[in-house]
Structure 1
Amino acid sequence: MEDVVYWAHLASIEGVGRAIVDQLLKRFGSIKRALEAPLNEVQEIPGLDERTAEAICRANQTLGVTRAKITEIAKRGVRVITKLDSDYPSRLREAANPPPLIYQIGAFRPQDERAVAIIGSRECSEVSGKRAREYARSFVKFGLTVVTGYAFGVDINAHLGALEAGGRTVIIPGCGVNIFDFEPLKPVNVSSFDDLVKQAVVITEQPPDADWSARSSLARNRLVAAYARAVLVIEARLHSSTLDTAGRAQALDRPVFAQSFGTISERVMGNEKLLKEGAGMVQNEEDLRQIVDLVRGQDREERKTGGKDDSRR
């Protein structure tokens, strides 16, 4: 466990991302040695500013705090997985700036490779919330896993639908595991991680005590886009976090679909934009079959060509 303590401690330093971690590993061979290195050597790392270099060199002073936190969350079943570990989800490696480490609760299963993201506004209409829930149930019936963030509105409804149907869901919150709130999941009798891991996996790159922020929410979007094989937008405004996720998915060549509405309003202008740009159209549950067939086909092809399956771990 000591090794992941160093990783978690380094990742908690503002300004340290994948590129800096890679440079430190290349220069020092391990994160432990990087944190123990003198300032003049750390300053030689390309792209590292003075402030971050000094923070890295001061980090050992508070290493005990991180060690205590990692020990505490481990007792609750939280694992810290670094990008060097074999069970780091391979699909997350495809994300823009993959996180150096993730905190994971629960275990992936084979069917989690067949994941579809259901995303949309946190202030969605009642109709869209209901639709997200119904669509999640339908995907579960076809053997797919639902993946999305953990915001109110579409995200929560998608998770509830999957759990109600006895299916699987991957939750990627924009906060740390110690901040995770079970209140939204009470309708499906989930009030602890012990309850949740029966049907779900939670992964986050945020430190244990990190609260939600607009910045962490946007960072989370790239992980949702990377893990999903396809993305379905239920309701999105223009210039929204939902469109950010859809854009990140498109950049990774993930197929994007959007709910079509009979009338156009400000709250669904993002959907209209996506449809005009060529996103697949979804009008009702029958249209979900095109997504199911696509996700299943991708999964079969990847297995046929020897693609990696992290969900067995």
Structure 2
Amino acid sequence: MDGVQRQQRFGVTQKEDEAIKELDLQQYFDLYEKLEVEGVEIITLYSPCYPASLNTNLVIGTEKDSRPLILYCAGNTKILNNSCASIVGSREASEESLKFTANVAERLTAEGTVIACGYAKGVDKQAFDSSIESEGQSIVVLLREF
């Protein structure tokens, strides 16, 4: 990818692009292109696509700013700004807890709420499965570095 392509794709100025070249960030541009080919969308903190709820609900402008700098997304990224409820819980959940989770997820899904969860066994996986089985939408948050 040449400088003009980087400037267009990442919205950087020529001066910023020259600074990037000095930092030898080519490996990151290569990773970006690889992920793009695989259908992974990269949304940065300063992207207009960055979820408003993360800007609103996480600490901003202090040393404790906990917003993720980069989101790696696959699927329908438009739902990132829909009404959303997070469901998380024990990996060793009781049968009663799993039934309760399924009920809550199904009700929220019926109201058009997107379910956000991890994908760990137990409550998180039950929330995801119930959302999908109810023909709803779900966001799975995986905390991982490349």
Q: How high is the TM-score relative to the length of structure 1?
A: 0.37
Unmatched tracts of structure 2, length 5 or more: 60-64
**Partners of 1:148 and 1:171 within 8 A in 2:** yes
**Partners of 2:53 and 2:81 within 8 A in 1:** no
**Partners of 2:79 and 2:114 within 8 A in 1:** no
Supply the distance in 2 between the matched residues of 1:102 and 1:32 (Cα, whole angstroms): 25
2:54 equivalent to 1:73: no
2:133 equivalent to 1:164: yes
Larger of the two Rg values belongs to structure: 1
2:120 equivalent to 1:151: yes
Which residue of structure 2 lines up, in the alignment, with residue 306 of structure 1? none
Question: Structure 1 residue 105: deviation in Å?
Answer: 1.4
Change (3 A) 1:112 1:167: farther
SS of the equivalent of 2:88 reads strand
Which residue of structure 1 lines up, in the alignment, with residue 52 of structure 2? 90
Supply the distance in 2 between the matched residues of 1:164 and 1:151 (Cα, whole angstroms): 17
After TM superposition, the structure 1 = structure 2 runs for residues 265-304 of structure 1, keeping only pairs within 5 Å, are: none
Change (3 A) 1:33 1:174: same
Change (3 A) 1:112 1:87: closer
Which residue of structure 2 lines up, in the alignment, with residue 203 of structure 1? none
Change (3 A) 1:159 1:32: farther
**What amino acid is the match of 2:99?**
K
Change (3 A) 1:149 1:35: farther
**Partners of 1:148 and 1:170 within 8 A in 2:** yes
2:85 equivalent to 1:116: yes
Unmatched tracts of structure 1, length 5 or more: 7-28, 37-58, 176-205, 210-313
**What amino acid is the match of 1:81?**
I
SS of the equivalent of 1:119 reads coil
Change (3 A) 1:162 1:4: farther
Which residue of structure 1 lines up, in the alignment, with residue 19 of structure 2? 33
Higher helix share: 1
**Partners of 1:114 and 1:144 within 8 A in 2:** yes
**What amino acid is the match of 2:35?**
I
- Percent of aligned pairs sharing the same letter: 24
Q: Which runs of 4+ in 1 moved over 6 A?
A: none
**Partners of 1:5 and 1:66 within 8 A in 2:** no
SS of the equivalent of 1:70 reads helix
Question: Structure 1 residue 4: deviation in Å?
Answer: 10
Question: Structure 1 residue 76: deviation in Å?
Answer: 1.7
Supply the distance in 2 between the matched residues of 1:3 and 1:136 (Cα, whole angstroms): 42
Q: How high is the TM-score relative to the length of structure 2?
A: 0.73
Supply the distance in 2 between the matched residues of 1:32 and 1:131 (Cα, whole angstroms): 55
**What amino acid is the match of 1:2?**
R
Q: What is the total number of aligned residue pairs between the two structures?
A: 131
Supply the distance in 1 between the matched residues of 2:8 and 2:123 (Cα, whole angstroms): 34
Supply the distance in 2 between the matched residues of 1:120 and 1:79 (Cα, whole angstroms): 28
Which residue of structure 2 lines up, in the alignment, with residue 105 of structure 1? 74
Task: Calculate the aligned-residue CA RMSD, in Å.
Answer: 2.9
Question: Structure 1 residue 109: deviation in Å?
Answer: 4.0
